[in-house]
Amino acid sequence: MARSSSQNRVRLANQILQAVREGRFEVGHHLREQQFGDLLQVSRTPVRAALSLLAEHGVVEARRNQGFFLTAPSEELHRFSLEVPSTADQDLYSDIVQDRLADRLPASFTQAEIARRYDVDRTLLQRTLSRLVDDGLLERNAGRGWTFLPTLDTGLALQNSYDFRKIIEPQGLLLPTFRPDPAALERLRIQHHYLESHPRIGTVDARQLFDTDAHFHETIASFSGNVFLLQSVQQQNRLRRLLEFGGYVNRRRVRDWCREHLAILDAVAAGDNATAAEVMRTHLANAYSAAPFFAGKSQRA
């Protein structure tokens, strides 16, 4: 219960940050609890808790008997976000996949065996196994037990993932339902210019690099107007996060993919979706070529 409450507080804080970015509020702006409660359809109490969390991180200031006021400039807000604490489901999912990648789990197992290994209750385990099935990582045996699919062979997963992405991501840009959000494009542009021009890119946290990268691809997919395409990109990002837990070690490649992402954004902003699709295809091919064929040392898109 405590973990769920903490997650909701962080999610709401990130939603408030998003609203502040979109509103282009200046430093010193009064962030009114009722205004955000109405906007986000929640009561003032959780809004107050979320604003207090932002105050703990120095983004806003809490003034006694006055409320909360913005203290961070816009360029800082565009590269700031709070990480949502993981759930027990996410922790178990990650543990199972990483143990399989490290050959600590056999290709096939029974539910009783894995329940004993991780000491979890049946309901949590069944939810997690079902999610692994939905993500194409696991299948139920005809008799008893479960079997990991070849997806979790790192080299094969890498090739299959990029082949799949080269099919769907460029095509999403060409759909007649594709509608970009100018504000979202601008936010992506600011985030990427920040990384591309960073004087010490090696000091930037790998998690921030991955999140910027993954958010770019999911945002572009969301413009397609096709929920199945977006869900596919999100599923690929979940797989990439697990396969790439070692981080982005090739920081020169980070600058390259930032420039490639920016070229896609420029083409989309200009309404040239055909060029954007071609650059996306080239970008994914470059990313695959730059990626080594083992987990934990990835340098992907």
- Supply φ then ψ for residue 292, to 5 degrees: -75, 160
Joined tokens for residue 40: 């986000």
Residue-wise pLDDT tens digits, 63-103 = 999 999 999 887 777 667 676 666 777 788 878 887 887 78
Q: Is residue 63 part of a domain?
A: yes
Residue finishing a domain among 111, 127, 150 = 150
Residue 247 has pLDDT above 50, yes or no: no
Residue-wise pLDDT tens digits, 171-190 = 999 999 999 999 899 889 88
Examine the domain organization and report whether 190 and 242 are in the same domain.
Answer: yes
Examine the domain organization and report whether 146 and 158 are in the same domain.
Answer: no
Examine the domain organization and report whether 125 and 220 are in the same domain.
Answer: no
Structural contact between residues 237 and 282, judged by C-beta atoms closer than 8 angstroms = no
Examine the domain organization and report whether 131 and 198 are in the same domain.
Answer: no
Q: CA 78 to CA 80: how far, in whole Å?
A: 6
The closest of 198, 192, 299 to 246, measured between CA atoms, is 299
Q: Is residue 275 part of a domain?
A: yes
Please, what is the average pLDDT of the chain? 84
Q: CA 294 to CA 285: how far, in whole Å?
A: 18
The pLDDT, as a whole number, for residue 266 is 97
Q: Is residue 295 part of a domain?
A: no
Residue-wise pLDDT tens digits, 146-180 = 998 876 666 677 788 899 999 999 999 999 999 99
Across the chain, the runs of DSSP E, i.e. the strands, are: 30-31, 60-63, 67-70, 108-109, 138-140, 146-148
Q: Which residues contact 204 (CB under 8 A, 6 or more apart)?
A: 195, 198, 251, 254
Q: Which residues contact 85 (CB under 8 A, 6 or more apart)?
A: 3, 6, 7, 10
Q: How many CB atoms lie within 10 A of CB 165?
A: 22
Examine the domain organization and report whether 51 and 13 are in the same domain.
Answer: yes
Q: Is residue 25 part of a domain?
A: yes
Q: CA 254 to CA 141: how far, in whole Å?
A: 41
Query: Domain with 103 in it: what CATH number?
Result: 1.10.10.10
Q: What is the four-CA torsion angle of 188, 189, 195, 199, rounded to 10 degrees?
A: -160
| Bridge partners, 31 (sequence order) | 68
Domain that includes residue 221, residue range: 154-290
Residue 234 has pLDDT above 80, yes or no: yes
Residue positions counted in the chain: 301
Examine the domain organization and report whether 101 and 36 are in the same domain.
Answer: no
Is the whole-model pTM more than 0.85?
no
